[in-house]
Amino acid sequence: MDMTWFDDMEARIPKGEVRTRFAPSPTGYMHVGNLRTALYTWLIARNHGGKFLLRIEDTDQGRLVEGATEVIYRTMAECGLNHDEGPDIGGPVGPYIQSERRDTYGKYAKLLVEKGGAYYCFCEKTESEEDSGNFNRATDPCRDLPLVEALARVAAGEPYVIRQRIPAEGSTTFHDASFGDITVENAELDDQVLLKRDGLPTYNFANVIDDHLMGITHVVRGSEYLSSAPKYNLLYESFGWEVPTYVHCSPVMRDQHNKMSKRHGDPSYEDLKAQGYLTDAILNYVALLGWSPRGEQAEQEFFTLDELAQAFDLAGISKSPAIFDIEKLKYFNAKYLRAMAPEAFCKAALPYLRKAIQNPAIDLTLVAPLVQSRCDTFEDIAPQVDFFDSLPAYSNELYIHKKMKTTLENSLEALQVTRPVLAALTDWTYASIHDALIGLAEKLELKNGRIMWPVRTALSGKAVTPGGAVELCQILGQEETLHRMDLGIAQLSNS
């Protein structure tokens, strides 16, 4: 076999730098486990000043979902996981889409046959049987077929797959950065299919070829691939290639016994965003699902993406499964919401405020500051502010407040004396409303709460509101404020 083409491919491989890759299949939304893999892969590259690659693995054509590739790009961009090479920006070792590398896999599969690490198999097997690995090499007549005879059958047009030739005896030791050395008896490994009848590679084979040709130095993947790992080693050894550092991460669980799954309603990144969680909070929490900082930062919980890149090291990755706790994520999200600049919070909250408050007369920029410290996610906004749109039906019991020393009787009196004071205001501002209400309380020699609580109750119909009486008056406007106070007076008068 002429090695010129293979030598040229080897010459293209970048050397002397850490290179990692995120290689998703475009089969749907980005679930939490996938996001964690992308994040860890990006962090390794950035921690070492290396390159981060995006590769689209679309060889399983039957599972592709329309629009899923765009979801990958959008998610990566939103999360700030910028890639240095990929399908959209190119690079020295492209193409970066597996289906566009089809001829490459076929050539390397045939080279592996020449090297004795694989063989042509003409046995009749369904595609599902090929993919499952359910294959007994001991009874396969093709394994020991002379290469000349096999090539003649290929030349005659006989359908075939190419299988990996696992050594019949001995064992294979695989090293993982998290789990250490793992040794498997070769007798337990199957002669997996590398190249299918349609000429497309299997997942395992395409990964090995692409990782080598793209100069990948560190591979992050789920621990469910540990059982396949020794076969990767054997492929690298058969080609005479250096094995990259493998980092197998334990699964993200929804409880002690079950892995997270979209089928069971567990949220994807897109779902969490739709539920009102901030990207920065999601990333911070996901980073700690299976990794913990060490040294001076061992007790630190909150990290920016840049801080994570500086702190991230492989030694901090845990072998134990991580349980996804939505309440813990909510805790992170609340901290991030409260830490936002008021202008940034207002901009991010506006879509939720517009959905909750339809009345165009309400100034949403005045509402936003009231809810910033009162919500864990953006979805918490609507139940707190829906009364701005329309006054809900409420019980007079809300006027009774022991601490404020309010009763039904003195609440009615408070509304009756407050209404003309507010009606007389010609300047409807926070300061004028505040001064009028405080001044009235002083004049009547009452505690502020005796005035404020009845007014707030009449304006909101709720026991708890974001903001007090003054803020609610300002936001509702003079006309609506007086209207709601009239309704409160009528309701109390008829009780």
| Both tokens assigned to 422 | 């507010």
One-letter identity of residue 372: Q
Structure-token match 């007086």, residue found: 482
Please determine, for residue 129, whether its predicted confidence score (pLDDT) is greater than 50.
no
Q: What is the pLDDT of residue 125?
A: 64
Q: What is the pLDDT of residue 139?
A: 64
| Both tokens assigned to 103 | 């001829």
> 389 and 357 in contact (C-beta within 8 Å)?
yes
| Both tokens assigned to 340 | 């936002």
Number of alpha helices (DSSP H) and beta strands (DSSP E) in the chain: 20, 11
Q: Catalytic annotation on 262? A: yes
pLDDT tens readout for residues 197-208: 998 899 899 999
pLDDT tens readout for residues 338-355: 999 999 999 999 999 999
Please determine, for residue 61, whether its predicted confidence score (pLDDT) is greater than 80.
no
Residues 224, 230, 232, 233, Cα dihedral to 10°: 140
Please determine, for residue 130, whether its predicted confidence score (pLDDT) is greater than 50.
no
Q: What angle do CA 57, 62, 67 make, to 5 degrees?
A: 65
One-letter identity of residue 275: Q
pLDDT tens readout for residues 216-269: 999 999 998 888 899 999 999 999 999 999 999 999 998 888 888 766 777 899
Q: How far is CA 147 from the centre of its chain?
A: 48
9-25 burial, b for 16+ CB within 10 Å, e for fewer?
beeeebeeebbbbbbbb
Question: Which residue would you say has higher pLDDT here, 129 or 238?
Answer: 238
Banded pLDDT at 455 (limits 50, 70, 90): very high
Coil/strand/helix, residue 182: strand
- What mean pLDDT is predicted for residues 291-316? 95
One-letter identity of residue 189: L
Q: What is the mean pLDDT of the chain?
A: 93
Please determine, for residue 65, whether its predicted confidence score (pLDDT) is greater than 80.
no
Coil/strand/helix, residue 401: strand
44-63 burial, b for 16+ CB within 10 Å, e for fewer?
bbbbbebbbbbbbbbbbeee
- What mean pLDDT is predicted for residues 128-145? 64
Q: What is the pLDDT of residue 164?
A: 96
pLDDT tens readout for residues 266-301: 789 999 999 999 999 999 999 999 999 999 999 999
Coil/strand/helix, residue 362: coil
Banded pLDDT at 128 (limits 50, 70, 90): very low
The dihedral built from the CA positions of residue 344, 348, 354 and 356, taken in this order, carries a sign that is negative
Q: What is the pLDDT of residue 320?
A: 92
| Poorest-pLDDT segment among 127-141, 385-399, 405-419 | 127-141
Q: What is the pLDDT of residue 127?
A: 47
User: Helices in 48-96 by DSSP H: which ranges?
Assistant: 68-79
Structure-token match 């009749």, residue found: 124
Facing residues of 174 across strands? 182
CB neighbours of residue 143 within 10 Å: 17
pLDDT tens readout for residues 171-194: 999 999 999 999 999 999 999 999
Residue 210 neighbours by CB under 8 Å, 6+ apart: 21, 23, 55, 98, 101, 216
Residue 188 neighbours by CB under 8 Å, 6+ apart: none
Nearest-angstrom CA–CA distance, 291 and 317: 4
**pTM, whole model, 2 decimals?**
0.91
Catalytically annotated residue among 125, 259, 262, 447: 262
Q: Which is nearest to 168 in space by CA: 192, 146, 137, 123?
A: 137
| Both tokens assigned to 152 | 């003649």
Q: What is the pLDDT of residue 228?
A: 84
Q: Which is nearest to 325 in space by CA: 335, 333, 316?
A: 333
Q: What is the pLDDT of residue 456?
A: 98
pLDDT tens readout for residues 4-14: 999 999 999 99
Please determine, for residue 126, whether its predicted confidence score (pLDDT) is greater than 50.
no
pLDDT tens readout for residues 359-386: 999 999 999 999 999 999 999 999 999 9
